[in-house]
Each structure stands twice: as structure tokens, then as C-alpha cells.
Chain A
């Protein structure tokens, strides 16, 4: 018999491989209870912060979205950047614009997606210029620079905003804590701030704000993208 069998049909032969690791035992029941309670508390805190921040930033999101839509309508492109976890959040934002669940695909790129470029600039010049050097190469008046930083103080973001501003790009920052230098920079035209002091909760809410921003761009009655 050489017939291929569906995976679940094999279960009767080895029922013991079902989640056996970390089963609840009298010794770890208290730990598992603590862990679960901790998870619920963190998820509720995240949900609350998301709601309050989304409500508080609503006007700022709408204003930034209107400015973005106007750029997209005239053929502008979006460049998104950040460091560490925020760099992957930047990639996530770029993929939301290029491959949206609904609405119109729009041109967006994360400036962290090419390790050759990142290491070349960092090695040859400075990590502080890792995004601004790319904007020198790619950024044009009418394009959009969107940077995410939980502290609001990342040097390479601040230099990128300065470069973008000099090139007449639209500049949008999403920061945490009290907004840091990004909220005070004359080169950041729209700054959304998640007023919290946990990096994790800030990142989750920055994702929610980015999503709200994208949603508001799509919701505007303008001719977006190639139609």
C-alpha cells in the first residue's frame, strides 16, 4: 500500500504527540494561571491604548491622510522606515499600501528591505544616514516619507525627515512616549504620538494608527493609484 494518506488520518497511530509539552500539572498550574492572567491584562491594556490613541489622534490622522491622498493622486510614492521592530512595522505598512485588503493598491516601499544598501551606507558613511541617503537617491517632491520610532528620537529618522523636507516631500512621523524630538522637529509636518511608556504597547498602537492612516487614505474620495 503506497497510497498517500491525509495527515490527520495518522493521528490514531500516535495520539501522544498532541500538545504534550507543558501540560498542566499540579506544580505548574499556579504559573500557568499567572501567565494567563498576565496575558489578559496586557491585551486589555493594549486594546484600551489603541482605542484612546485612535480617538485622540483622529483629527491628526485625517489631516495626514488628506495630505497623503493628495500626493498619491499626483503620482507620489510612499517611503516607510524605522529601526528594529519598527523597521518590520514599516515593511508591514508598505505591504498594506501595495497589497491592500480592499481599496486601491498604492506605491510604497520600506527603506529597510535591501541588506546590501543598508550595510553599504552604514559601513561607508554612517548608520545615522542610512535612510536619508536613500531618500537622496529616490525621493522627489510629491513623494511621502513616513517614519516610525517608539522613542521619537532615532537619529537616522530625524536626518531622513530633514532630507525629505528639503526635497519637498510630505513628512509624517509616528512616535511614542511624549513624541521625543520628532514631535518638535520642524521637518515633521504631521506627528502622531502614542502617549504611553511601554515599547510593546506603543508598537501595537502605532500599527493601529498606521492602519487607520491607510484606511483614511483609502476612504477619501480622490482618484488614487493607476485607474
Chain B
């Protein structure tokens, strides 16, 4: 992306020395200004891009589904921010927390093409990966706020359209830093709404699964994700993709059942994705 970094080393140094607070970090686990400011510099650009994508999806009628399998209270906090803003006059936006034990089964009934899935989890959370992967077949754009974890986030970046690492420090989900990130996402989303051009931009955005001219020449040459709905006695398989319900030939993938995630190429399932 072309956003230039604006935080110079001098800025960071200035941030570190705010009001002479150096040396009073007396409470264990509460992080200094420097550490948080560096996190800010690292994630600000990614939050900006995610907020613009989110506001476009909202403007086009999408809903944001908030999920945090390991800490469902954070999903509820995000949803209430958007639905019932603390600042009088800000528009209510459709965000919903999903906290059922059967996340995938619930979400596949609710999520529609053009929606957004906001995931908050550790990078290695299996339930998070499962939802994020399937969100592509459901036609949803995904934003993933990662906290903690030992796994290299780079390996997992492909699972989310917008992957934002809040901190590798697990305590960030308790000490306000995760809250800060979704508060800023909310604030930036409203900046986008107050920006005159956002409505005009709606038609220019494309759901994650659709072709973008400069990289995809013909759709028939593409691979897309689809989730099996059902298979009838004659072997006809109905699959859900970002485009809707499609009939797919599954003769070369063995033993797939409802819920299986398939890579589809030219009307044929060429592999099961796990």
C-alpha cells in the first residue's frame, strides 16, 4: 500500500519521554508508552485499510459478524460499540457478536456475501482458522485482530483479508490494548463515513472472491473456495460460494460430505481444503 509511515524515530523518542513518565513503570505487566506507541506505528496503516474496507461493506448493506472464540466478551464489546455508539449522533451500524459453541454451523446460516467477519483470537486458534477459511466461501471480507501466540503470523496472513497483529503479548487482551485496537477501528470507520467520497466508492469495491482486473484475466482459470451444501443420490453436489449456490463436479475428490471446503476450478472440485 502507498500509505507512508509517519512515525519517525524522533516521534517514537518523543512518545517515550511523555511527561517524564519513564521510571514510574512500577506495576508489573503494564507496558510503557514506548511499547504501545511502537504497536501503534506498526498497526495504524493496517487499521486504516481495514476501516476503509469495513465502511464500504457497511455502506453497501453488509453486516459485521464479531467472533472471539477464546474470549467472547471482546466480540460483545465490539458489537455494542457499533450498534450503540457512545458518541451521540454517530450512526448505528449492524454488528453482531456470535458466541455459540457451534460457530461454523451458526455463522454459515447468517453470513451473506458482502458481509464482514471480524475475528479476534490467538494466531493458532483452530476455531478462528476454520471460520476465516470458510468466510471466503461465504463471500465475506475478513479482518483478523491477533493477540499473543507463538506462531509466526506470517504463515497465517493468507487466512484473513486484513490481518492486524495487536501484540504477541497475551496480556494485551486484558490490559486494554486489544480494546484500543477495536475502538480505533470503530473511530476510523466513522471517519470514513464522514468523508464525502465513501458512498461513491461503494461500487468500486469487490468482495474478496471476485476477480480484480489487473490479476485475474478470466474467471474460468481461477480457483475459488466453496462449501458443500449437500450431495444427492446421483452424486450432484451443491456448493456454496461467494457467488451463490453452484453445482460442482466432485468426482475427483473422494468422500466429501456436507460442510467440506473445496477448491473449485472450472465447475470441478479439484481438492478438499482442510
Contact = CB atoms under 8 A, between A and B. Distances in A.
Interface in B201-230: 201, 205-209, 211-212, 215-216, 222-224
Interface string A133-147: 000000000000000
Contacts, number: 259
Contacts of B184: 39, 42-43
A91 B40 CA distance: 25
A216 B29 CA distance: 10
Interface stretch (A20-28, A120-128, A164-172): A20-28
A41 B172 CA distance: 19
B208 A1 contact: no
B272 interface: yes
Contact of B36 (A1, A29, A47, A203): A47
Interface string B60-92: 000000000001011011001100101100000
A43 B188 CA distance: 12
Interface string B241-272: 00000000000111100000001010000111
A116 interface: no
Nearest to A8: B158
A23 B27 CA distance: 41
B32 interface: yes
Interface stretch (A53-61, A67-75, A179-187): A53-61
A50 interface: yes
A32 interface: yes
Q: Is the interface of A mostly helix, strand, loop or mixed?
A: helix
Nearest to A12: B223
A16 B51 CA distance: 20
Contacts of A19: 49, 53, 161-162
Contact of A208 (B15, B56, B77, B176): B176
Contacts of A17: 136, 161, 208-209
Contacts of B175: 207-208, 211
A18 B158 contact: yes
Contact of B271 (A1, A29, A199): A1
A37 B11 CA distance: 12
Interface in A89-148: 89, 91-93, 95-96, 101, 110
A54 B24 CA distance: 9
A222 interface: no
A39 B205 contact: no
Q: How large is the interface on B (under 10, 10 to 19, 20 to 34, 35 or more residues)?
A: 35 or more
A19 B45 CA distance: 13
A145 to B, nearest CB: 19
A44 interface: yes
B28 A28 contact: no
A101 B222 contact: no
A207 B73 contact: no
A14 B30 contact: no
B205 A2 contact: no
Contacts of B25: 51
Contacts of A34: 191
A7 B158 contact: yes
13 contacts: A2-B255, A13-B265, A21-B205, A22-B49, A24-B1, A29-B3, A37-B44, A43-B44, A44-B15, A50-B36, A85-B81, A88-B74, A96-B174
Given A20-B212, A35-B51, A84-B84, 5 more contacts: A4-B273, A11-B158, A21-B208, A36-B47, A208-B30
